[in-house]
Amino acid sequence: MIERKDTIGTVLTAITAVAMIVSLYMVFLFAPREATMGDVQRIFYFHVPSAWLAFFAFFLVFVFSFLYLLRGGRRWDTLAAASAEIGVLFCTLVLVTGPIWAKPVWGVWWTWDARLTLTLVLWLIYVAYLMLRHYMADPERRATFAAVLGIIGFIDVPLVYFSIRWWRTQHPQPVMAGGDDSGLEPAMLATLLVCIGTFTLLYLTLLRYRLKLQALRDEVDTLQDRLEQAG
């Protein structure tokens, strides 16, 4: 039987909820209106943290996959699968919020520049990862094969990035990494950082719920087995 009472999970959910309210306040009321882009720029506070979360989740898929191959153990496999699911979800959000922002600002929904294309390719790689998991029945084998793909997929990221970047670059330079005159306004930077923190908390909360779900599924499976044996 698994523990029904989950104090850490409840606390984590509560903190995430509070952080979300704070983030929403900062995004819509605290952060100043962008001079040229107007209010549409506020999508930036969702777009960039989503991208951060997707990359973070895919990086952790790599770490968990590596640990699985190194040490074995079901736990690492479940963590990798959960992380990949969350990563694909937020990668999808990046691909949705990006065009919504791009259309009024650049005049086009999509451009084949390095960062956009990399996000799209990442999405394809990790959707393939989830499909592979889905089409494998044997859990041990699924874990091993998925781990190998999780490692290869992540090693591929810099190569994809540099190949596309060399191929074509028309994205504006990163605003924060530039010189003194191109930095973000302090209030905007603060909002962005708070949003990134909130999304990271959201990742941990979702990961926790996903692990709990897996534990429940396993319990159902064992109970079913026991019923079949008894019947």
Partner 1 sequence: MWRAITTILWKDLKIELQTKEAFGASFVFSLMVLVIFNFTLDLTSEEALKMGAGFLWISFAFGGVLALNRSFALERDENCVQGLQLMPVDRGGIYLGKCLANVIFMLVTEIILLPLFAVFFNVDITARPLYLLAVLFLGSVGFSSVGTLFSAIAVHTRMREVILPILLLPVTIPVLIAAVEATAFALGADTDPSFWFRLLIVYDVIFVTVSFLTFGYILQE
Per DSSP, 28 falls in state I
- Residues lying near partner 1 in the complex (CB under 8 A) are found at 69, 121, 124-125, 128, 131-132, 135-138, 141, 144-145, 147-149, 151-153, 155-156, 159-160, 162-164, 166-167
Q: How far is the CB of 138 from partner 1 (least distance, A)?
A: 8
Q: Could you give the CA distance from residue 199 to residue 194 in angstroms, rounded to a whole number? A: 9
Nearer to partner 1, 124 or 176 (CB): 124
- Backbone phi, then psi, for 190, in 5-degree steps? -60, -45
Q: How far is the CB of 132 from partner 1 (least distance, A)?
A: 6
User: Which is nearer to partner 1, 22 or 160 (by Cβ)?
Assistant: 160
How many angstroms separate the CA atoms of 145 and 143, rounded?
A: 6
Give, rounded to a whole angstrom, the gap between the first and last alpha carbons of the chain.
21
Q: In terms of CB distance, is 27 or 151 closer to partner 1? A: 151
Q: What is the dihedral of CA 86, 189, 100, 201, to 10 degrees?
A: 20
Residue 46 token pair: 């969702």
Angle between helices 186-230 and 44-71 (to 10 degrees): 40
Minimum distance between the CB of residue 173 and partner 1, rounded to whole angstroms?
20
Q: Which is nearer to partner 1, 2 or 137 (CB)?
A: 137
Smaller CB separation from partner 1, 31 or 118: 118
Residue 41: partners with Cβ closer than 8 Å, 6 or more residues away: 33, 34, 101, 105
CB of 140 to partner 1, least distance (A): 9
Q: How far is the CB of 95 from partner 1 (least distance, A)?
A: 14
**29 vs 166 by CB, closer to partner 1:** 166
Q: How far apart are CA 154 and CA 177, in angstroms?
A: 24
Minimum distance of partner 1 from residue 167's CB (angstroms):
6
Distance CA 221, CA 224 (A): 5
